[in-house]
Structure 1
Amino acid sequence: MVGHRPLNPPDAPQAIGPYSQGISTGQMVFVSGQLPIDPSTGKLLADAPVEEQTRQVLRNVRAVLAADHLEMAQVVSTTVYLSDLADFERFNAAYAEFFTEGAPPARATVQVVRVPKDAKVEISAIAVR
């Protein structure tokens, strides 16, 4: 592939379909939607509250970024898919824990009918060097 390379670090969960965990191209990194899967076990945190699912998702985002030597402070945009917007405040509190340096990224948050594997949250991200 000319101009971009896949990021599939071992400390992030393996993709559940035919896609890369992230793509690095030029000054940008695109992180695919991450689920609350523990990479050490490969299991979804199915019964965990939305706060813990959010933390695991963002740890997975951080692992993909680290594979290309980036940090959470370099994330400029995220897209959040929640299975229930009633969880928004609890989600938001956990999300904020990961964006404490600099300006938080731009973000869209939407409720969806269903998140893959019946997770409560999925997050994709874009980072810039």
Structure 2
Amino acid sequence: MTQRLLLEGAPPRAGAYAHAVVSDGLVYVSGQGPKDPRTGRLPESFDAQVQQALDNLAFILDGANSAMTEVIKLNAYLADLTNFDSFNAIFEKNFGGTLPARTTIGCQLHGIMFEVDCVAKVRA
């Protein structure tokens, strides 16, 4: 069974997609940017944008009965690759001993400096 999730309290979607899709014991989380769902604002600094996007990811994973510790594969998108070291430090702080497989991509992003998506296990 496939379940498409639109979660109340999650960051607003920027297009026509689900926050996440759960299928066969895995959750596929759509790209999450740094918009604070409570205020609707974007943090100004790169570091704050990364942390907010990871917080948004954690919120959606929780709503899908998963968690950051269950992330298997993560894709990170940086508008400026000179921020890689900063991103990596924040990433490691958030994932600690449960590092997932990861791809980091430098790309053009619309009005933000960072975006993230992932695939995670649903908790049993």
Q: Tell me the TM-score normalized by structure 2.
A: 0.92
User: Could you tell me which residue of structure 1 aligns to residue 45 of structure 2?
Assistant: 49
Pick from 102, 105, 112 the counterpart of residue 100 of structure 2.
105
Q: What displacement does 1:8 show?
A: 2.1
Q: Is the CA contact 1:5–1:24 (under 8 Å) kept in the aligned structure 2?
A: yes
Deviations 1:20-67 (A, max 9, x none): 11111121000001000000022222xx22111111000000011101
- Count of residue correspondences: 122
User: Could you tell me which residue of structure 1 aligns to residue 26 of structure 2?
Assistant: 28
Amino acid at match of 1:119: I
Structure 1 residue runs of 4+, over 3 Å off? none
For 1:50 and 1:77, the matched residues in 2 are separated by 22
Alignment gaps of 5+ in structure 2: none
Q: What displacement does 1:107 show?
A: 0.5
Q: Is the CA contact 1:8–1:64 (under 8 Å) kept in the aligned structure 2?
A: no
Deviations 1:71-94 (A, max 9, x none): 100000111110010000011111
| 1:98 alignment partner, SS class | helix
- Percent pairwise identity: 31
User: Could you tell me which residue of structure 2 aligns to residue 115 of structure 1?
Assistant: 109
Alignment gaps of 5+ in structure 1: none
For 1:65 and 1:40, the matched residues in 2 are separated by 18
For 1:10 and 1:101, the matched residues in 2 are separated by 30
Pick from 63, 66, 89 the counterpart of residue 67 of structure 1.
63
